[in-house]
Amino acid sequence: MSSSAVDVSVVRRRLTLMELSRYGPVIGLIGLYVAFTLLNDRFLTVQNQVNVLQQVSIIGIMAIGVTFPILCAEIDLSIAQVMEVAGLTMATLAVGARLFEGSALPVPAAILGGLLLAAAFGTLSGYVTARFGVPSFMTTLAVLFLADGLGLIVSGNRPIIGLPASLTGVGGSRVFGFPSIVIVFAVLLVLSQLLLSYTRFGLYIYAVGGDRTAAERMGIDVMTVRMGTLVISSLFAAVAGLVTLGRIGSAVPTMGAGLLLPPIAAVILGGADLFGGSGNMVGTLVGVLILGVLQNGLNLLGVDPAGQLVAQGIVLMLAVLANVLGRD
């Protein structure tokens, strides 16, 4: 009788922790909205909510990309530098400056050049990881330094100005009065969720992230899947670099500064399993919004940047704790 009671208690505890891990991010986001709405009457205005979406879109695009390797039990530490070098490459190619002095290309070709460079970085780290068993933590760390150095070479360590309107328009224009950068973010989010939910590749990502050995026995090409997720992450970082050009109106060698950890933090805040195999783009969106709403709300309340960092650290620690407890 006592053993049965203990078993029931254990099951109830496990269910509670699993529910916390699953629904905690949504509950947390709703709680933030309620709190900041009560504390500041400007928070819930339409204009402020549009501002929040604009502020989180760059991090959001990068978070969508890095969700793929995280679901596959990998990590990509090179996203900020790949975003930076891809944006600088697009800018220098489009205006014919610095390393490409006197050889300006049409904007579509310049964008393609940046995307191909990013894909090359993702392929490099993905191949070394999947083929030789080197942890993606180390391969993407190496790519981080490669991309950072190449960015300085491409730009000559100087800003690139005078960008064509067709290049900056992707992230700096408005469509029917709505910021284009937010539209890009939303479209990529929907397409990515469709890829995960309705394609064989999406199913394979979850299978490899959940149990790599079992996936191999099922006949899944684990090497290709693992490499593919890192290529996708790099491509999304390049798109983030493209929209950043429109957001700031130029290309600067430091535009990726501070953008490595927030996208990864957003994915974890959204409930993705730290060990792979569980998560989705809706959760990533929730995590991105938690970071954006927290920063925006604290700004409106007059909290300084140091206080905001403390708050973000506390929220992330709680999210990681719920993530691990929910798994156990």
**pLDDT tens digits for 44-70?**
999 999 999 999 999 999 999 999 999
- Of the candidates 195, 75, 53, the one whose C-alpha atom is nearest the C-alpha of residue 126 is 75
Q: How confident is the model at residue 326, as a pLDDT? A: 60
Whether the Cβ atoms of residue 180 and residue 61 lie closer than 8 Å to each other: no
Place of tokens 């919004």: 289
Amino acid at 186: A
pLDDT band at 1 (very low <50, low <70, confident <90, very high): very low
- Of the candidates 88, 84, 68, 87, the one whose C-alpha atom is nearest the C-alpha of residue 76 is 68
How far apart CA 94 and CA 135 sit, in angstroms, is 36
The DSSP code sequence of 195-216 is HHHHSHHHHHHHHHHH-HHHHH
How do residues 253-285 score in pLDDT, each as one tens digit? 999 999 999 999 999 999 898 888 889 999 999
Whether the Cβ atoms of residue 248 and residue 315 lie closer than 8 Å to each other: no
Q: How confident is the model at residue 100, as a pLDDT? A: 82
Domains in the chain, CATH or no CATH each: 16-327 (1.10.3470)
Distance of CA 209 to the CA centre of its chain: 18
Distance of CA 142 to the CA centre of its chain: 19
Ramachandran sector of residue 40 (left: φ over 0; alpha: ψ -120 to 50; beta: rest): beta
Q: Taking the model in full, what pTM does it have?
A: 0.93
Q: What is the mean pLDDT of the chain?
A: 91
- Of the candidates 208, 263, 262, the one whose C-alpha atom is nearest the C-alpha of residue 233 is 263
pLDDT of residue 328 exceeding 60:
no
Q: What average pLDDT does the segment 95-118 reach? A: 92
Q: What average pLDDT does the segment 72-82 reach? A: 97
